[in-house]
Amino acid sequence: MKVLLINSNRFKQPFPVMPAGLCWVASALEGAGHEVTLLDLTFSAEDAADPVAEIRREIAECLARVRPGVIGIGIRNLDNSTGFNTRFLLGEVRLEVTDPVKELFDGPIVIGGSAVGINGSEMLEYLDMKYAIRGDGEEAMITLCARLENGQGLDGMPGLTIRSGGKILHDILTENSIPLDDLPPPRPHRFLDMEAYKRFDAPLTIQTKRGCALKCTYCIYNVIEGKTYRYRDPQLVADEIEMLYRETGIDRFEFTDSTFNVPLKHSKEVLRALIAKGLKLRLSAMGLNPRSVDEEFVDLLVRAGFMSVDLGVEAGNNTTLRTLGKNFNKTHVLQAGKYLHKAKIPITWHLLLGAPEETPETLAETFETLDRAVSPWDFVNIGVGMRVYKDSPMAQSLAHGGDPSVLSKDGFLTPVNYVPEGIDLDTIKILTRQAALSRPNYFLYDEDEDKVTQSALIRGTKFLSLFAPRQPVWRFYILGGMMANLSGLGLLRRLRHAYQHRHVLRRVAQGRKAVREQAMMGGAAAEWSANRAVKAPGAR
């Protein structure tokens, strides 16, 4: 059967991401004997006066050339995943991709991808479509194509959501159980224009496992991939990296597990298998868990060729870490930073501000902790506010609480942002921006992402490839901030921000002072009571 897969993701912040999941599906379909074409719209209509018309033309030309029997549309993001200034992306997908496909093709169309794994039925309603696959897409797409080829109905198919007549008729999410070692490698160079991604030094992405057993209150990784870990054989992971390196000439790879170093034993086995290959690679990993960073692990990172890591710390105080459901504390955060700095591995520290029980005091402690832990040349990527996603523990808590101001009418498809009781999001933003203006390496994702243009990324990538190929491109952002401070521009920005928000900053400062005084009075009262209790037996 001829299958057309379409990558609908055109969101390129902070940099373009290869549609790895769609490539996995494409390889699996080819392995099952199907003829597969992948239409990647990442870079489509970049300079077009009418992007919608240009993308529609590109889709029409592809349909005329391929003449598919079925179309699968990959949808990666509902939004930009921030809880402040949230940018809802699904409207653009509908306008630019799904509506034109429906107009031009009258055969079966199915949507899939990480966003669909969260809100499959709601997305079918929003996009006015019939079929969605949630969970692992490889086996489900093979089953769907086999049924279509054999003239079988799709009713009752595991993993497939069916909508008809404006109603969801079938929505059975099976437990993800596909043996990952049985899947053919994704081979993105077979389906994508790699030169377009090379301009940005985009990494080839690698999964060593799927699923997540952690219980972070805001996260939906275990909804999309399952609550238990499904491991790939470490040797097969190393073999895949070697194959991709030999066949593409690309030496940059990123591990994209939900948390690469949990469980720590498996990640170490992957690193040892890769080190044994003796390849000269530039590696990175997203979402390292601070608790699972030890000296042996860091040594293996260095020997394997890591040029940077992302550390998912989220906060720098134990109260916030507890309410986020983290399995680590502030001590783990500080220790992980020490190990990585000792090995001279550049770190991106990820913060998530605005958790339950967040207050001006917890924010201040987080910034103080980061001042102790972070190198001036590390990057601090800050998300202000928490976007609530369907079936996350936070969404379930809000639903049980019954607060009408935060309850969602569409299963949290459109953005709902959590607001803690102790501080509002606007105040968090003001305090965070004030802290960032004195720290050149702080990056507020919701507003600074648009300042990093694609042309600047390309120029920075070219410069680094010539003079510092192992340096992460985000260090250009830090350099720009340092230069602004040296020129005096940084000081002017801080003074202007402080003046514009002086009432909020004064109110917060007075509140923090009152909290400290109350704590001191409480401590003094406790000491007085203790002294009185000691003296009491002999008193007359």
> How many folded domains does the chain comprise?
2
**235 and 143 part of one domain:** no
Q: Please report, for residues 58, 80, 90, 378, 509, the alpha-carbon distance to residue 127 in angstroms, rounded to integers and kept in the order given.
A: 20, 19, 9, 41, 47
Q: At 401, which CATH number? A: 3.80.30.20
**219 and 77 part of one domain:** no
Q: Which of 240-270 are b and which e, b meaning 16 or more Cβ less than 10 Å from the residue's Cβ?
A: bbbebbeeeebbbbbbbbbbbbbebebbbbb
Say how far apart CA 506 and CA 160 lie, in whole Å: 55
Is position 481 within any domain? no
What is the structure's pLDDT at 450? 66
DSSP 3-67: EEEEE-----SSS----HHHHHHHHHHHHTT-EEEEEE-TTTTTT-SSHHHHHHHHHHHHHHHH-
Is position 361 within any domain? yes
pLDDT tens digits along 123-163: 999 999 999 999 899 999 999 999 999 999 898 898 899 99
Q: At 141, which CATH number? A: 3.40.50.280
**125 and 205 part of one domain:** no
Is position 443 within any domain? no
DSSP 94: I
Q: Please report, for residues 167, 304, 308, 336, 339, the alpha-carbon distance to residue 298 in angstroms, rounded to integers and kept in the order given.
A: 52, 10, 11, 9, 7
Last residue of a domain, one of 107, 140, 171: 171
**344 and 201 part of one domain:** yes
Mean of pLDDT values over 298-318: 97
Record the pTM: 0.91
What is the structure's pLDDT at 539? 40
What is the structure's pLDDT at 369? 97
Q: How many CB atoms lie within 10 A of CB 367?
A: 21
**167 and 198 part of one domain:** no
**82 and 229 part of one domain:** no
Residue percentage of the chain with pLDDT more than 70 = 93
**201 and 110 part of one domain:** no
Is position 394 within any domain? yes
Is position 35 within any domain? yes
What is the structure's pLDDT at 522? 67
Last residue of a domain, one of 403, 424, 445: 424
Residue 534 pLDDT level (bands cut at 50, 70, 90): very low
**242 and 117 part of one domain:** no
Is position 496 within any domain? no
**The tokens of 49 are what?**
């006066």
Is position 444 within any domain? no
Last residue of a domain, one of 424, 447, 481: 424
Domain extent at residue 112: 2-171
**165 and 205 part of one domain:** no
Is position 25 within any domain? yes
**The tokens of 154 are what?**
């799709």
**301 and 246 part of one domain:** yes
**85 and 202 part of one domain:** no
Nearest to 36 by CA among 9, 68, 75: 68
**156 and 265 part of one domain:** no
pLDDT tens digits along 360-414: 999 999 999 999 999 999 999 999 999 999 999 999 888 776 555 556 788 899 9
